């Protein structure tokens, strides 16, 4: 199944993506959508706006330096090397963003960077899940962008401030269940900035694979339906160039993964409007 959440004429709904149509599902929430029945006639794609498969994830977790080549290039900006122990951070829930929505260039920094990633979405509660059973709690996978504000990232030991800006976690367009994928490890992740290929690697190139990630996380806390895991990015991020290639207003970032589709986001200046209440 290719589960989507869409906006159709101002109404948000879950559906199954089939060809050029969305088949509506009888579900009001993510967990229910995983097993929901069809509930209406097909809707042409031209009539829908794709939203993130999970509107407000309980957790957005990301693993750092999980591709060897990216670990090597990261030494210059996060003072790290190929990790023996998994290095995790969280992105704030308000970072969640739609697959084709604008991403904000922060008012407080010019060092906005891109990271294309495979995203795992959890479908069942899991605690102390061994690696060999990890996929039992996975609802599916999709395409994600882990946008990073590098100077704010360097200023925090946990990376939390540089990773959690609003709009900096777009993902989608569909949650693809594992039975739809021929070989998860063979999928290639590619990132383009204004049409220029910047990142390219396969899922099998991860230092810590997805089962190892889930086993590690659930040794510490419970993963729940709708939790989102960013599984690491390949080499080629903007900070790895000399001089760095930071994103600017007007840039377009396209991230694509074999069999999962693509997301594409325009970089725009953050509005910076004060919000209270």
pLDDT band of residue 101 (cuts 50, 70, 90) is very high
Domains with residue ranges and CATH for the chain = 2-51 (2.30.30.370), 60-269 (3.90.850.10)
In the structure encoding, which two tokens stand for residue 151, read together?
Answer: 């100077």
Mean pLDDT of the 120-125 span: 98
Distance CA 96, CA 73 (A): 27
Pairing of strands 21-24, 11-18: antiparallel
Residue 116 has pLDDT above 70, yes or no: yes
What's the pLDDT score for residue 77?
A: 61
What is the residue whose two structure tokens read 């794709």?
Answer: 50
Question: What does the pLDDT average to over 158-184?
Answer: 96
| DSSP classification of residue 37 | P
Report how far residue 167's alpha carbon sits from residue 189's, in angstroms, rounded to the nearest whole number.
21
Dihedral sign from CA coordinates of 243, 246, 251, 256: positive
The Cα 246–Cα 188 span in angstroms is 24
In angstroms, the CA 148 to CA 151 distance is: 9
pLDDT surpassing 60 at residue 79 = no
C-alpha distances out from residue 25 to 9, 38, 125, 194, 209, Å: 16, 4, 22, 36, 32
Rounded-to-integer distance, Cα 145 and Cα 91, Å: 12
From the list 23, 18, 47, the residue with the least C-alpha distance to 37 is 23
In this structure, are strands 261-269 and 252-257 parallel, antiparallel, or unpaired?
Answer: antiparallel
Instruction: Read off the pLDDT of residues 234-244 as tens digits, 9 standing for 90 and up.
Output: 999 999 999 99
188-193 vs 103-105, strand pairing mode: unpaired
Pick the closest to residue 174 from 55, 59, 52, 266 (CA basis). Answer: 52
Question: Where is pLDDT greater, at 58 or 73?
Answer: 58
């Amino acid at each position: 199944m290719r589960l989507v959440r869409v906006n159709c004429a101002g109404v948000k709904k879950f559906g199954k993506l089939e060809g050029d149509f969305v088949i509506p599902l009888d579900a009001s929430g993510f967990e229910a959508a995983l097993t929901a029945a069809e509930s209406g006639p097909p809707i042409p794609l031209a009539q829908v706006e794709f939203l993130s498969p999970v509107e407000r994830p309980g957790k957005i977790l990301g693993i750092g330096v999980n591709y060897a080549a990216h670990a090597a290039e990261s030494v210059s900006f996060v003072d790290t090397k190929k990790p023996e122990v998994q290095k995790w951070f969280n992105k704030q829930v308000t970072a969640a963003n739609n697959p084709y929505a604008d991403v904000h260039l922060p008012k407080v920094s010019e060092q906005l960077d891109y990271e294309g990633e495979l995203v795992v979405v959890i479908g069942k509660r899991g605690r102390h899940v061994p690696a060999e059973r990890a996929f039992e709690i996975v609802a599916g996978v999709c395409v994600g962008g882990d946008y990073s504000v590098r100077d704010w990232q360097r200023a925090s030991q946990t990376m939390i401030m540089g990773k959690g800006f609003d709009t900096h976690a777009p993902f989608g367009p569909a949650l693809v269940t594992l039975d739809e994928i021929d070989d998860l490890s063979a999928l290639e992740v590619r990132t383009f900035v204004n049409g220029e290929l910047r990142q390219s690697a396969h899922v099998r190139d991860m230092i810590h694979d997805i089962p190892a990630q889930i086993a590690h996380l659930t040794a510490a806390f419970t993963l729940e339906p709708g939790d989102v895991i960013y599984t690491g990015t390949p080499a080629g991020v903007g900070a790895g160039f000399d001089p760095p290639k930071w994103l600017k207003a007007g840039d377009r970032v396209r991230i694509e993964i074999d069999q999962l589709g693509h997301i594409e986001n325009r970089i725009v200046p953050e509005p910076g409007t004060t919000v209270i209440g």
